[in-house]
Amino acid sequence: MIFINPPSAVNPELPNLSLAYAATVNNARVVDLNTRPHPSNRFLDSKSQKVYISVRPFNITSSQEIKDKYLQKYPDTKVTSVSGFIDVLCCYPFIDFNDGLKYPISFSDSYPFPNYELFDSFEIFKKNWQSGKWSYSIMTSLGCPYQCVYCQSHNRKWFPRSAKNCYEELKQAKTKYGIKTFSLLDDCFNLDKKRVIDFCRFIKPLKLKWFCTNGLRADRFDEDIAKAMADSGCVHIGFGAECMDDTILKNIRKGVTVNQIKKAVRIAKRYFQGVHCFFIIGLPGSTFEKDINNLRWVVKESITGHFSYWSPFNEANEADPFYGDQAIPKSNAYSIPLQKRIYHMTRYMRAGNYSWIATAVNRIKLIWIFDRTNIFSHISIEVKKKIKLWIHSINF
């Protein structure tokens, strides 16, 4: 039995968690072509009776190519998909080929901790985890009961792991892999306030720096949660804002208001070294002016904005990513060139190989465009952030 993670256009630093659980349960090796792309045909090096491919919207083409190549060399092999452990990860669903391998047990403490040593990219992950360049990824819950129309995780039952179970995984990862930091990939981390605070209480003794870059709802965020997260080592958080316009937020069934987003960001800025918000370019009913206002607000608040393109829910199986270097706009809300203009202006805010000099230059450019009268206050804020980071490194 062989599992294959096809090459993709996004996130080489994130392990395929669904595949990690599948491989662990079946004690099977993983050929990870996303984090370790070369040699690209190494999945053909050995014959297996069963080969399972992790198929997602952005790798449908490469998945089919892998299947065709394997069957051409080993025509008697069963080649199909694997799913059912985690069905959506980082906004993208996992897709079934016919008669794919599935796992019937709901996400819970009954899942084993992922054994990343089964990945042939393990040494790459381990090196980057130990250096702190990459963060260890963990999902503490799966699913989200809210109704956001743009999201693949919407309107689903919420399956949480216990705080203690999550702590045990992180403790093991620190001991076994030498991780320095970790990131949460939950769909809706703060649905249950008590569980968030319990999680923070459990992990604090691990003294790991961590990031909640996904799954925080602004309307369920408050001072108690912020304090608990910061005290336990969290240094950077993000909210799904999508748009700073109440009419559009209502139309996409976000379930939050602009005032709730602003309040959450105000609280977060008092506790964390970094704060970002996710925004979607070209939402139904939006305009270039409204999307530019989102960027203007980000600049004035001295936070980071991660801007992606609108991807209609019913087009989930298209192969084009809505973020990353290969993303393309699909919305007809306003002209494509203007959508690309905003995406290009905010490229340095996305994860990528941008030097601190390039990032600083681009940030200054946007401050000059949107908030030039307060440019010195922005410099002051950045200096304070550096001092806060230095103090945190001493005390933690």
What is the pLDDT averaged over residues 53-59?
Answer: 89
User: What is the pLDDT confidence band of residue 11, given thresholds at 50, 70 and 90?
Assistant: confident
Strand 136-138 to strand 181-184: parallel, antiparallel, or no bridges (unpaired)? parallel
Does 187 have pLDDT greater than 90?
A: yes
Using 50, 70 and 90 to split pLDDT, how confident is the model at 388? low
Per-residue pLDDT band at 154 (split at 50, 70, 90): confident
Buried b / exposed e over 285-295, threshold 16 CB at 10 Å, is ebebebbbbbb
Q: Residue 41 corresponds to which tokens in the numbers above?
A: 């045909």
Q: pLDDT band at 256, cuts 50/70/90?
A: very high
Q: Which residue has the higher pLDDT, 357 or 353?
A: 357
Using pLDDT thresholds of 50, 70 and 90, give the confidence band for residue 143: very high
**Residue 70 pLDDT grade (very low, low, confident, very high; cuts 50, 70, 90):** very high
Indicate the pLDDT class of residue 392, thresholds 50, 70 and 90: low
The predicted-structure confidence for 163-173, as pLDDT tens digits, reads as follows 999 999 999 99
Reported as a single tens digit per residue, the pLDDT across 121-130 is: 999 999 999 9
Helix (H, G, I), strand (E, B) or coil at 36: coil
Q: Among the residues of 7-143, which ranges form H helices?
A: 17-26, 60-73, 122-131
Q: Reduced to 3 states, what is the DSSP secondary structure of residue 210? A: strand
- Model pLDDT, residue 316: 46
pLDDT bracket for residue 42 (50, 70, 90): very high
Lowest mean pLDDT: which of 54-58, 229-233, 381-385? 381-385
pLDDT at 98 over 50: yes
Which tokens sit at 258? 């602009």
Give CA separation, 343 vs 197, 279, 305, 363, in Å.
36, 10, 11, 14
Q: Could you tell me which residue, 159 or 86, shows the higher pLDDT? A: 159
Cβ–Cβ under 8 Å, residues 140 and 187: no
Main-chain dihedrals φ then ψ at residue 121, nearest 5 degrees: -100, 10
Q: What is residue 371's predicted lDDT score, i.e. its pLDDT?
A: 83
Question: Between 10 and 191, whose confidence is greater?
Answer: 191
* The pLDDT value given to residue 362: 85
* pLDDT for the residue numbered 372: 83
Give the Cα separation of 17 and 118 in Å (integer).
12
- What pLDDT sits at residue 92? 79
Q: Please give the structure tokens belonging to residue 311.
A: 């991807």
> H or E element: which one contains 159?
strand 159-160
* Mean pLDDT of the region 323-349: 90
Q: Above pLDDT 70, what percent of the chain?
A: 92
CA-closest candidate to residue 59, choices 79, 23, 34: 34
Alpha helices in the chain (DSSP H): 17-26, 60-73, 122-131, 163-177, 193-203, 223-231, 246-251, 258-271, 288-301, 336-345, 356-370, 375-395
Q: Which pLDDT does position 90 carry in this prediction?
A: 78
152 versus 255: the higher-pLDDT residue is 255
